[in-house]
Amino acid sequence: MSELFKYDDEREAASAAKVRALEALLIEKGVLGSDSVDAVLAHFETIAGPFNGARVVARAWVDAAFKQRLLENTPKAIAEMELPVGMEGAEGEHMAAVANGNGVHNLIICTLCSCYPWPILGLPPYWYKDPVFRARGVREPRAVLREFGVPIPDDIEVKVWDSSAQIRWFVVPERPDGTDGMSEEELASLITPEAMMGVALVPSPAQKQAMAG
C-alpha cells in the first residue's frame, strides 16, 4: 500500500490518546458508561464486521443464482442468510453490491463523508475517510489502485462507485484460482474488507500461505 494511505504511527497514537481522553471525560461526566463502550466494541468484534461480508461474498462465489439476486436486490438477498446482524437502518438497508469480472474492476469511495456498510464491513479504516483518498479515487482511480498494489490493465474498465447516505456500495471480488472444492467457510477466510472495497484482490490459498509465512 502507498505510504500516503498507511497509518502514520505518531498520528495514530495521538488519535488513540485523544479518543481515550474523550472517553474518560464522558464517563467521568456521566454522559457515557464504561459498559456502553464495551458493548459497542463487542458489537463490532462479534456481530457487525467484515466476517459478515466475507460470508456473503463466499455464498455468491458458490451460488450463481444467489449472486444474481445479490446484485439485483442486495438487502433482500442478504436477508436470506443467517447472519448475526440485521440489515436494519441506513447502514444496512441501503446497501448495493457490484461484482468484479467480465472486464470490470470496481472501486468504492465516499467523496462527501465516510458512508460505509457497517453491518457487513465493520468500521471504515482511517485512510478511507482521508480527503486525499476520496478526491484521488475519483480523479485517478488507476493510479490509486496501483499504489495499493492492484495495477489494472488498460483493457479492464475501472468503475468508481460513490457511497452516500442513500446507497452504500460494496464489491463482490473475483474468486481466486486454486479454490476449487473449498467450502464457503474456507472461501470466506480468504476475503478481506479491502477486497470488498475494491482496493485489493483476494489472494489464492497459496498466496495467503506465503504472506503468512
Binding residues for Fe(3+), as ranges, are: 110, 113-115
Distance CA 204, CA 76 (A): 29
Tell me whether residue 34 is one of the annotated catalytic residues: no
- Residues making up the binding site: 110, 113-115
Q: Which cell numbers in the block locate residue 12? A: 495514530
- Adjacent-strand bridge partners of 21: none
Beta carbons within 8 Å of 94's beta carbon, 6+ residues apart: 75, 165, 166, 167, 168
183 is catalytic: no
DSSP string, 97-126: EEE-BTTEEEEEE-SSS----HHHH-SPPG
113 has catalytic annotation: yes
- The answer to whether the Cα torsion of 176, 178, 183, 189 is positive or negative is negative
Grid cell at residue 177: 484460482
Look-up of cell digits 477466510: 189
Asked if 204 is an active-site residue, the reply is: no
Percent of residues in the chain assigned helix, strand, coil, to nearest 5: 50, 10, 40
Q: Are 193 and 125 in contact (CB under 8 A)?
A: yes
Cα gap 167→94, rounded to integer Å: 5
Name the active-site residue from 34, 36, 113, 183: 113
Q: What number of CA atoms fall less than 13 Å from residue 156's CA on the CB side?
A: 17
Residue of 114, 164, 189, 204 with catalytic role: 114
Q: Which residues are catalytic?
A: 110, 113-115
